[in-house]
Amino acid sequence: MEEFSIKTKQKDNISILDIEGYLDAHTSVELEKCFEKIISENKFKIIVNFEKLSYISSAGLGVFMAFIETARSNAGDIKLCAMSDKIYNIFDMLGFPILFEIYKEENAAIEKFN
Amino acid sequence: MDKTNKILFKSSTKNLYLLRKFIEDKAKTFGFDESSVNQIILSVDEACTNIIKHAHMYNEKEIIEVELDTNENQFIIKLNYKGKAFDPNNISNPDMKEYFNKFKIGGLGVPIMKKFMNKIEFLHLNPDKNSLTLIKNL
């Protein structure tokens, strides 16, 4: 069975989350916990790399909505990158690029923070 | 109807993966392209997630019956379940500008279903049976 996993790395003061597999109402709980942990450590500059994510439902989108305000009000942000067309189309269809910065490559998101 | 398929799922988000796989195989076999298959999978996921959360309140003892019918050019997914009745057709799409301004969470499953499926029908039968039908044209 295809799983969901998160690998986190730190680059200077930026937390980078590599998410893999499928993000639905079941697995989004894991991502939510990961965000909670990062935020509790007062890390508010966050990049999520979607390169290995194969599926997202609205439950997954809700996780990003849940933390964006906190990140921004603490001089940080949640920037998204490396989405497949399939995933980007879901974000785009609902208008998420209005609120979220979405980059083709991780480096572009890192540069934007710097 | 050319074919009927029926499968029962325990009402748990744990089973969404299996449900998606089931729908994916059937939609591919029916002849949809990849993009349409993805739209159907996501719509059924959203519909079942709503049932699990709102009708069954995460009670895994509840069951969702997924019934697939096809005719010449339609793929018809019927979700039969007990519990609180909910007709997606009665829900207006959110104002996304306001949604983002107020950092809202949730409520996007129905707009996704409405966008990707050609028709949504809801039927409540007394005393306690609901039937939500999602239809996608080939």
CATH number, domain containing residue B7: 3.30.565.10
pLDDT digits (tens, 9 = 90+) for A12-24: 999 999 999 999 9
Domain hosting B96: range is 3-137
Rounded-to-integer distance, Cα A111 and Cα A42, Å: 21
Q: How does DSSP classify residue A100?
A: S
Q: How far does B17 lie from chain A, in Å, by closest CA?
A: 8
For residue B25, give the nearest of B37, B17, B15 by alpha carbon: B37
pLDDT at B15 over 60: yes
A69: nearest CB among B45, B52, B103 = B103
pLDDT digits (tens, 9 = 90+) for B40-79: 999 999 999 999 999 999 999 999 999 999 999 999 999 9
pLDDT score for B2:
46
**What's chain A's average pLDDT?**
96
Gyration radius from chain A CA atoms: 13
Q: Taking CB atoms and an 8 Å limit, are A57 and B104 in contact across chains?
A: no
Amino acid at A8: T
pLDDT at B1 over 50: no
**Domains held by chain B: number:** 1
Domain hosting A109: range is 4-113
pLDDT score for B4:
55
**Domains held by chain A: number:** 1
A22: nearest CB among B17, B38, B108 = B17
A99: nearest CB among B52, B100, B112 = B100
Question: Does residue A11 sit in helix, strand or coil?
Answer: strand
ipTM for this model? 0.92
Amino acid at A44: F
pLDDT at B3 over 60: no
User: Global pTM?
Assistant: 0.94
Count Cβ–Cβ pairs < 8 Å, chain A vs chain B.
64
pLDDT at B93 over 80: yes
What are the residues whose beta carbons fall under 8 Å from the beta carbon of B127, sequence distance 6 or more?
A: none
